[in-house]
Structure 1
């Protein structure tokens, strides 16, 4: 076993801070901060996951009203200790090409496309953290026989927890956080379709 590179050691005994991520030039591209610990995305990305994220970004960008930005793989600075990187998000914020994160108060929707290595974080850890930060809508997308299934959640403000609102198969229609219609089966067609 080889020693961990020096840059992976936290700069302080209590761990990493959210602002430290912008100073870690050596870190892999998809590095998150969860409870003061760095989380690296080291598994190869599956084609289904990559195409799903691209299709969602394109579709949501087309449907987003003026003043709403849709971005992929940009972190959300939840607090001093947490800066997760969702697969995509929609935010009520002006375009800023030098932005490296969004705050939760600008984030309208967070979408995680579940992959084997992220399943626990997407289904439990991030679900709780995004809710505690006050993000109004969360979608978790699972693959079911090659098709996407969207598990939609909405924030219950007083308890700062999510309540499931729907499980979407085939089609998704919603008015939150803005009017969205998705042909789920058409998002990731195979070449043989």
Structure 2
């Protein structure tokens, strides 16, 4: 005797009229987004950057990334002279379609007077720092420092995790070429006189 299979009710067709509308930033305009759009778009994830008119979203950070940000911000804040400030998680408005977010910036003190501002400009920044992540390696090593140099930011550091240790690649702007020149790489200790006197025990950061 055959047994009829149990009746399985079919799922009703979704009512398209009840679905949530897509946010405006899902579909970019033909010419790409502008730097000012970041302040107008609603619902974009935190730490969204704009590079070449395209929105770039942040990925979950590694423990190395988090440790380096905390340690570098603390060390730089202690070493910076009174006319400078150290901040993180703020975008830089570098052009009509460029608004990257460095991991850390060292700013001239006059730039932090407006508590409601959402970005800084290149003229506010003395040093930009990127801690390289696997997902953002191409941008951190190439496109973003290119944008910082073209905008005239005098100093750039790139921090890499190599052989279980942090390595800081220090760059200084060549005004004639509007490009960065590598002035040194530092593994165990970062000791510099520019942009100000700095002495950071890099090896100790990982051991904490």
Q: CA RMSD in A?
A: 1.5
Shift of 1:7: 2.0
Matches within 5 A, 1:77-156: 77-94=93-110, 95=112, 96-156=114-174
Residue 18 of structure 1 corresponds to 35
Aligned partner of 2:83 among 54, 60, 67: 67
- C-alpha distance in 2 between matches for 1:128 and 1:53: 21
Q: Which runs of 4+ in 1 moved over 6 A?
A: none
Aligned partner of 2:50 among 22, 30, 33: 33
Residue 181 of structure 1 corresponds to 199
Deviating more after overlay: 98-107 vs 75-84 = 98-107
Count of residue correspondences: 185
Shift of 1:70: 0.6
Residue 65 of structure 2 corresponds to 49
TM-score (norm 2): 0.84
TM-score (norm 1): 0.91
1:122-168 alpha-carbon deviations (Å, 9 max, x no partner): 11111211111111010000001221100111000011001100001
1:42-100 alpha-carbon deviations (Å, 9 max, x no partner): x2211111111011111101111112111112111111110000110101133333221
- C-alpha distance in 2 between matches for 1:129 and 1:167: 21
| Structure 2 segments unaligned to the other structure (5+ residues) | 1-20
| Structure 1 segments unaligned to the other structure (5+ residues) | none
Does the CA-based 8 Å contact 1:33-1:83 persist in structure 2?
Answer: yes
